[in-house]
Structures are given as structure tokens and as C-alpha cells.
Structure 1
Amino acid sequence: MIGVLIVSHGQLAAGLLDAVKVIMGAPTQTATLALNQGDSIERLRAQILQQIQLLNDGAGVIIVTDLYAASPYSQTIANHTELANLKIPYKIFTGANLSMLIEIFHQRLLHINLDEMTSKILQAGKNGVREFFTELRHYPAERRKRND
């Protein structure tokens, strides 16, 4: 089974995983890491590598970070050489949101491999970001009347 590691600033990763648990139940082979104020980014890098190794059972690991180019992301990609040497298959997604995580766990239940999951995860993450009035304009007028 593909492992899942969520890495964020503060308790965002734990909060996202908690929301997944409410919606889908508690997933296995999953971990979170937090970078808190004053924490060492070098220590975070080592923790990320250690968690990836623990979560990998041969199927690989998906790592989800909160913000592109920020410390959780940069410390994850800093492990690239070590992960290549360990021959651990992995994918890194950034811009974490709940829609993306639900899709990851849904695809994992279907036993989809890492490469096949990628486009579905990216699409779910993008589709999860909406603005009410923009969506209302695209909602057919006849359906709006029926729902009033």
C-alpha cells in the first residue's frame, strides 16, 4: 500500500488528517510532520526521510506539503538523492488541501499506482478551490430556481 506523509507549518498537517478521518475513517500507513516556530529545518529534513522509510512497503510514498518552495517542501526535496539511493518510489505534491487528500486516500483504496494517481490528485486539488459567485454564474438558472 502506498504510504502518505503530510508535512506542514504548524498543525495544518494534523488538522487535515483529522478531517480525512472524519470523512473516511482513520487511514493506515499515514503520518504527519509539523514545522513549528523555532524548529530546526535540518531536523525536519531527517524526520521526513525517516518517515518516508517507515511508510514505504515497496509501493512508494506520497508526500504532501502545504506551500510550494517553503521549508516543508524544500526539506522534502532535499532528500531526493537519499531516496533515489534507497530506491523508494515517491511523489511530492504541494499546496495541500482536503480535496487533494481525499482523492489520495480514495485512489489508494482502489490500489492505483503512484504514476496513475498523479493527474487525478492534481485535478482534485485544483477542483477543490472554488469561489461562490463564480460558481453561481455557471450554475444553470433553471436549477437555481428549483433549489429556491
Structure 2
Amino acid sequence: MIGIAICTHSDFAQGLCNAVEMIAGPQEQLTALNFMGDIGLEEYGEQLKKAAEGFSDGCIFVTDLENATPFNAALMAIAYTDNVILSGASMPLMLELVIKRAGEGYTPESLAREVLQSHCDAVSLKTSREVFGS
């Protein structure tokens, strides 16, 4: 099973992990790695790399913001591996990842690309005029 490591600022990662398990049930190979700002980029990157090494079929790192510390640490962790990073952590993204990763034949990259393609549909805009008219 492809592992998923949620890497975000503060305790968002743990909250997202908890919410995913509340909806989808307990998950194997799902971990939250909160970045609290109390360690440096390199040390956080080593923590992410170590977490990914525990996953049997590779890892998808899910970060909150592209080019921020969790993302940059994940870049360090994927160096010379087949692991990948998805930025823009959200419930719809996470639920789709945990559901689809149970399927056969995925690599971290193929799963991430498939989820990324459909993730745009998870964001919507509603205006009062559209919902209630005038």
C-alpha cells in the first residue's frame, strides 16, 4: 500500500489525519508530520525521509503550501526516490487519496496524478444569486 505523509504547518497535519480517519476509518500507512517551527529544514526533511522509508510501496507527501518549509523538506525527502509531493492539502484531496490507493497497480506518481486531475472538481464557488436567484 502506498503510504501518505501529511506535512503541514502547525497541527493541521494531525487534524487532517484525524478527520480522514473519522470519515474513512482507521488508515494504515498514513502519518501526520506537523512542522511547528522548532526545528530546522534539514532536520524536518530527515524526519520526512525516515517516515517514507517505513512505507512498503512508496510515499506521497501531502503539504499545505508549495515552496514553504514542509514542501521544501519533502523535496529533500523525495530526492533519488520514486516518492512524490502533492501540495494544497484538503479533506477532498485526502479522502480521494486514501480511497484510491487501495486499488491495484498504482505507483505514488500515477496515484498522485490521477487525484490531481480530479481534485479541481472538489473546489467550488457559489454566489447568492446562483443559489437563490436575483
Post-superposition Cα deviations, 1:85-118, rounded to whole Å, max 9, x if no partner, equal xxx4212100111111111011112234024323
How many residues in Structure 1 have an aligned counterpart in Structure 2? Answer: 131
State which of 107, 111, 115 in structure 2 corresponds to 1:121: 115
Are 1:11 and 2:16 counterparts? no
Give the corresponding residue for 2:24: 24
User: Which segments of 5 or more consecutive residues in structure 2 lack a partner in the other structure?
Assistant: none
Are 1:49 and 2:42 counterparts? no
Q: Pick closer, same or farther for the CA change 1:80–1:128 going to 2, 3 Å.
A: same
Q: Is the 8 A contact 2:60 2:112 kept in 1?
A: no
Q: Pick closer, same or farther for the CA change 1:129–1:112 going to 2, 3 Å.
A: farther
TM normalised by structure 2 equals: 0.86
TM normalised by structure 1 equals: 0.79
Give the corresponding residue for 1:96: 89
Aligned mates of 1:127, 1:90 — CA distance in 2: 25
Moved over 3 A (4+): none
Q: Is the 8 A contact 1:103 1:124 kept in 2?
A: no
Q: SS of 1:130's equivalent? A: coil
Query: For the pair shown, which has the larger CA radius of gyration, 1 or 2?
Result: 1
Bigger Cα displacement from structure 2, 62-71 vs 37-46: 37-46
Give the corresponding residue for 1:106: 99
Alignment RMSD (CA, Å): 2.0
Percent of aligned pairs sharing the same letter: 24
Give the corresponding residue for 2:2: 2
User: Which segments of 5 or more consecutive residues in structure 1 lack a partner in the other structure?
Assistant: none
